[in-house]
Structure 1
Amino acid sequence: MFSLSHPDHYIPILIFLLIAIGFGAVSLLVGRLIRPNNPYRDKDAPYECGVPPINDARERISIRYYVIAMLFLVFDVEVVFLYPWAVDFRRLGLFGLVEMLIFLVILIVGYVYAWKKEALEWE
């Protein structure tokens, strides 16, 4: 049983914490000392895929962008659940098949709902 009455148990954690903080600090310091420092206007300009920036970076983005991103993540993560099921399909048998069919029906209903609400339209 681990108890708080033995502070010597915390010494390895303290040493690890000090090494981690020290490594980060030393890395940043060495990087600052050896890197070249010659800023100029083009180097300090924002970079957008090789194209000069057109608008202000704080421009509002349509909510549709975020909705499509969230839908992509939801459906992508849901599909990840298919892999373990496929690996263990023989052991799960008919119960696993019915369970996965219910899962897929729910997933397809969600996809059709998003499609009918035109959440996937990009305009």
Structure 2
Amino acid sequence: MKLLLTFWMIIIIMMLIIIMIIPLINIQKNKDREKNSPFECGFDPMSNSRISFSIQFFTVSLMFLIFDIEISILMPMPVLIMMSKTYLWIYTMAILVFTLLMGLILEWKEGSMNWK
């Protein structure tokens, strides 16, 4: 039993040493500035960092996120009708839909949805 345990310990230690040596052997020698630079969402890290960001794109993405979260709140509502009282479900749905519509009307009136 002790001999078997010793054998497995030697095998495990050898595998660990091999696993630690393989990356040292496989190091890529040809590294340049382009390969060492991070890739950030299509922005060139070597260029000026003060490039103006499109605020219209930002507002459209924020509206998408807000309405996407609100839709994910509305999705389980048909299932909840079976678990709650009907008048309470209708009241909750009316408040949620009213809030969604008021947000949509507010963004429409202030011109956030117009691409300039």
Aligned counterparts of 1:71 and 1:49: Cα–Cα separation in 2: 20
Q: If the length of structure 2 is used for normalisation, what is the TM-score?
A: 0.58
Give the root-mean-square deviation of aligned CA atoms: 3.4
Q: State the 4+ residue runs in structure 1 displaced beyond 6 angstroms.
A: 29-32, 45-50
Which of 49, 53, 60 is 2:52 aligned to? 60
Q: Which residue of 2 aligns with 1:90?
A: 82
Which amino acid in 2 is paired with 1:82? Answer: L
Deviation at 1:87, TM superposition (A): 1.7
Give the SS at the match of 1:91: coil
Q: How does 1:1-123 map to 2 (within 5 A)?
A: 33=24, 34-40=26-32, 43=35, 56-92=48-84, 93-123=86-116
Unaligned runs of 5+ in 2: 1-19
Deviation sequence 1:48-77 (CA, Å, 0-9, x none): 999x99x74530113232222222111110
TM-score, structure 1 length as denominator? 0.56
Point out the structure with max Rg over C-alpha. 2
Give structure 1 stretches of 5+ with no counterpart: 1-28
Q: Percent identity?
A: 29
